Structure 1
């Protein structure tokens, strides 16, 4: 009887320590010192769920390879793919609120701005008029409209250059957050598989621009789940067909 009691006493801690869990703390993305209590933490793999305490801390049953979802009203939902069970720090971005449309019925201009001349404006051209209308002077505005084609071309060129600069900034951001080092740390892919994954799932500028701030960790975890469902052939980049000689 003594030996049986001793065996059960020693076996109980082993059963407890055999359970695997992951822990972490959740903060506001903009104010990284602000912990978030009440965040729902759900293991999408084993269907377990919990919530963060007043200090923003959580503990949930999990194994390597599980998907953990974090959600809170007023914040973007995030998902984490577990590559290990180490303690983590999670940052949730606040959802942006769109302003309601405002109808502007009148605008009061500063009097000092009314008579300012555009240094890039060209002289107005003379248009022929028919009937009994007298010809207008060269310095008059035709029909009350100022024709300034040179300035319009200048503005279009400015917009084009601004668009190119903006695109370059987004491409640099994607390179900084979706590269071999970052992807490998999350997915443990390496070699040709890592290169193929990056080429297949690299986020587009349009996707990154549409969601600000862009959640790269969430995107990589979802892309890796999709990658695991691909066949070995689908994971390979298909070579372009060779051109036939004439």
Structure 2
């Protein structure tokens, strides 16, 4: 008995401080081998923050489904949606120069100059960070007078894709937990009543997202109480009106 108590006391600190983390390294997009120290990494779900070390490496507490933001002075901010906690390599593109403060007057240009391609301009494609989001390819040139005007649109598309993937994740969670077996075990509903109950009281993505972790058994029990208060007619799904045949 004494040995068991000593073992539990020794094991307790390790369990108490264990946490789930994700790791990786951040590099400059154009100079792939240039690691970036001092990049700020924020977990937008837990609000945890850290920075990359002198070798560009980071470790931050996270769970699958969290959104991780990477930001640094002079670089575009990027956001990563975690579908797993594997080690990642992140590439941040440098921000383009702002030409608002440049005043140009009495400039004479000819067709040979204006039709020439900027030798310093380079095309780049933002890499997929860890294979999580299907990033939109960018073909806007960086450098010269061709500014990267499509980045804002790309970011909006990126957020939209992250929202859709997040919604699909919650819908899969609902499918796995709000099942006919789970409902029957708690309520004894079967057949047509079970099918109608699942359609009427299926939890929404917003409800599941707003309460983490979502207690499905508790929700099913509360829904069943509400179900029993419905009239037999209210428990039936109303058929859609039939369309009249064309005369």
State the TM-score, normalizing by the size of structure 2.
Answer: 0.48
State the TM-score, normalizing by the size of structure 1.
Answer: 0.48
Q: Which has the higher contact order (CA 8 A, sep 6+)?
A: 1
